[in-house]
Amino acid sequence: MNSSVNKKKAFVTSAIFLLAVLIIGIGSEIFTSKYISNQKSKMRLAYQKRTESTQAQKKGVENESIYINAIDKVMSEKEYQDFKNGLSIIAVNSEVTINKISDAPVKNIKDYKENKIIIEAVATYDAFKRFKDRLAKLNYFINFDKETITRENPTSNKIKINAELHVIVFANKEAVLTQIKKK
């Protein structure tokens, strides 16, 4: 009888041991699964943040590029003076005769100035169109405003032009561009 009790005891002990090993195995499997899932979640979050950071950097570079292009289209004080001095050359090359160039009052807009140049000129319509086309090809914001065109005299093929050119000037243009390029 002792032998059968010992066999049953051994069987129960073995069953409990197997059950304990099974529970530990399942528990460790669950723990490992949760740990891996947590790692995947952290990796996904890190990847998402890195992607967002990269997109923000790209957006920043795009915005900076747009800003630089906008500043490039605005004249510095020196570029404005060079433009004003070269206006007669552009006119002569377009067969436009400028009779008078004068400055109108400057309008201050925050860090910028809107400079106005009043011109009185005589040309054929085609020559004046060439003049405006050449100004449009310059890489600056130049706007013709208050343009009045009349015939020079009733029998002439020439026109008289009175126009106001508006040019945006940014005094700190070079300093800002230098600062951006240092980044």
How confident is the model over 10-48, as pLDDT tens digits?
777 887 877 777 787 777 777 677 766 666 666 676 667
pLDDT, mean over the chain: 81
- 135 vs 54: which has the higher pLDDT: 135
Name which of 93-97, 158-162, 172-176 the model is least confident about.
172-176
pLDDT value, residue 180: 73
pLDDT value, residue 143: 86
pLDDT value, residue 93: 92
Domain 77-176 matching CATH 3.30.70.60: the answer reads yes
Taking the CB of residue 80, how many other CB atoms lie within 10 A of it? 20
Average pLDDT, integer, range 128-140: 90
Beta strands 158-170 and 97-109: pairing type? unpaired
pLDDT value, residue 49: 63
Find where tokens 């570079």 sit. 61
pLDDT value, residue 95: 93
The length of the chain is: 183
pTM of the model: 0.61
- Checking phi first, is residue 146 left (phi over 0); if not, alpha (psi -120 to 50) or beta? left
